[in-house]
Amino acid sequence: MNNILHVENLGINFGGLRAVDNFYMDIYGNELVGLIGPNGAGKTTVFNMLTGIYAPSEGKIELMGESIINKKINDIAKMGIARTFQNIRLFNNLSVVDNIKVALNSSHLYSLKDSLFRTKKYYQAEEDMENEAMELLKIMHLDDLAYTLAANLPYGKQRELEIARALALKPKLLLLDEPAAGMNPKETLELINTIRYVQDYFKVSILLIEHDMNLVMELCKRITVLNYGMVLKVGSPLEIQNDEEVIKAYLGN
């Protein structure tokens, strides 16, 4: 079995608060999994543990069989977990193509010496980076905006750029934190197509947090419901929709 992500017994305390408890999850190759739950359930905390921002108090996280616990954030990113953020975090002072180039850094390394003396390696790396970034932007339909400042993009395009930047790391697992937040129905529809396309084209597994149930039910094959930091239910969209406990968690008694 091609198990991409294996999470077991994951927990974290913030002082006396048990934010996430006994969380488990398995993601297989090229799969699209949803993580839902009411506000404050601990979904983003799980993301932050998966990307190394928080160190879990206990538990196992394995990416392709290799533990990522206590690894540095940038090393985890290089190992193959890339993410987007709930509130878009682009490099607003850089152009669209430069945003991608920053994320391409680890695959096109050249030293300060190369940039000081403008060696052959510098020109080669810069050219490769430009080509690769433009190719990626073309796939994401952002190539005509390549040289505009990221801050000047419309909202929907900023989301797409953030996804493109995450893809530049060539991840095995892509984490999307509320990608449809603040989007109108038309933009959400476009986003659904984009996510599907990305999954097919890059053969990447995707884990997404979302409150927009249309998007979740449309896209995800499997859904994990989180409530008060604990896994409430794992199942297919149909199972989740008809589960009484899940409905109770969202709507109350």
- Residues at the contact surface with another protein, assessed by CB under 8 A: 51, 53, 72-74, 77-78, 82-83, 85, 89-94, 98-99, 101-103, 105-106, 108, 110, 112, 115-118, 122-123, 125-126, 129, 165-166, 168-169
- Return all residues near 109 (Cβ < 8 A) that are at least 6 apart: 125
Q: How far is the CB of 239 from another protein (least distance, A)?
A: 33
Q: Take residue 145 and report the two structure tokens written for it.
A: 């905006």
Nearer to another protein, 28 or 202 (CB): 202
Taking the CB of residue 37, how many other CB atoms lie within 10 A of it? 24
Q: How far is the CB of 86 from another protein (least distance, A)?
A: 12
Q: How far is the CB of 127 from another protein (least distance, A)?
A: 12
Nearer to another protein, 18 or 78 (CB): 78
Classified as helix, coil or strand, 95 is strand
Establish how many alpha carbons lie within 13 A of residue 207's alpha carbon, considering only the half-sphere containing its beta carbon. Answer: 27
Q: How far is the CB of 224 from another protein (least distance, A)?
A: 22
Burial of 84 (0-12, 13-18, 19+ CB in 10 A): buried
Q: How many residues does the chain have?
A: 253
d(CA 79, CA 32): 19
Nearer to another protein, 168 or 232 (CB): 168
Q: How far is the CB of 110 from another protein (least distance, A)?
A: 7
Nearer to another protein, 74 or 152 (CB): 74
